[in-house]
């Protein structure tokens, strides 16, 4: 379903799978709660692979940047990037699979979580860490609501 059309042929859409899954819950409850990993990550590209020892330029996955303290990823033991004194990034897990499904891009991770899970589900993440693959069990939580603006903050259009 198209939701918005913008200039230069750019548009946004909601998948029919999402509509079919979320609409009955929205009608019944008035809201839909999404699953939450508690991390930020990016698609690993060939220019990022030199940050890892002995990693091929063709290696693919989701490079974990930051972990939300006490969030699901933190509790499962995922590791984010460490930035040194000189601004160079080191370490960080690379997610390569979720419940045995290969993950090569960030949008694949987001889509899988959105379409196949709900808060309270348990998933297994396969991560590449320090030259080895590790399976981590992660208990998904409900995505937190964004913080509310202070009542004295002016409205902006």
The runs of H, that is alpha helices, within the chain are 16-29, 72-76, 106-116
Q: Where does the pLDDT of residue 68 fall: very low under 50, low under 70, confident under 90, or very high at 90 and above?
A: very high
Please compute, for residue 49, the number of CA atoms within 13 A of its CA located in the half-sphere on the CB side: 12
Tell me what pLDDT residue 100 has.
95
pLDDT tens per residue, range 87-124: 877 778 999 999 999 999 999 999 899 889 999 999 99
**Segment 80-89 mean pLDDT:** 83
Instruction: Note the pTM of the prediction, 2 decimals.
Output: 0.77
Domains of the chain, earliest start first: 1-32 (no CATH), 33-142 (2.30.42.10)
Within 8 A by CB and 6+ apart from 140, the residues are 35, 36, 37, 72, 113, 117, 118, 119, 120, 121, 122, 123
């Amino acid at each position: 379903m198209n939701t918005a059309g913008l200039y230069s042929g750019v548009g946004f859409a909601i998948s029919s799978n999402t509509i079919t899954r979320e609409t009955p819950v929205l009608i019944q409850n008035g809201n839909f709660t999404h699953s939450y990993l508690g991390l930020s990550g990016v698609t690993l590209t060939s220019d990022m692979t030199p940050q890892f020892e002995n990693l091929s330029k063709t290696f693919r996955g989701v490079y974990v940047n930051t972990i939300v303290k006490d969030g699901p990823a933190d509790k499962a033991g995922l590791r984010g990037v460490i930035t040194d004194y000189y601004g160079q990034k080191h370490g960080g897990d690379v997610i390569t699979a979720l419940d045995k499904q290969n993950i090569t891009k960030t949008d694949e991770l987001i889509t899988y979580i959105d379409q196949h899970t709900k808060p309270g589900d348990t998933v297994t993440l396969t991560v590449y860490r320090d030259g080895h693959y590790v399976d981590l069990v992660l208990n998904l939580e409900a995505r937190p609501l964004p913080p509310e603006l202070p009542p004295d903050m002016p409205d902006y259009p």
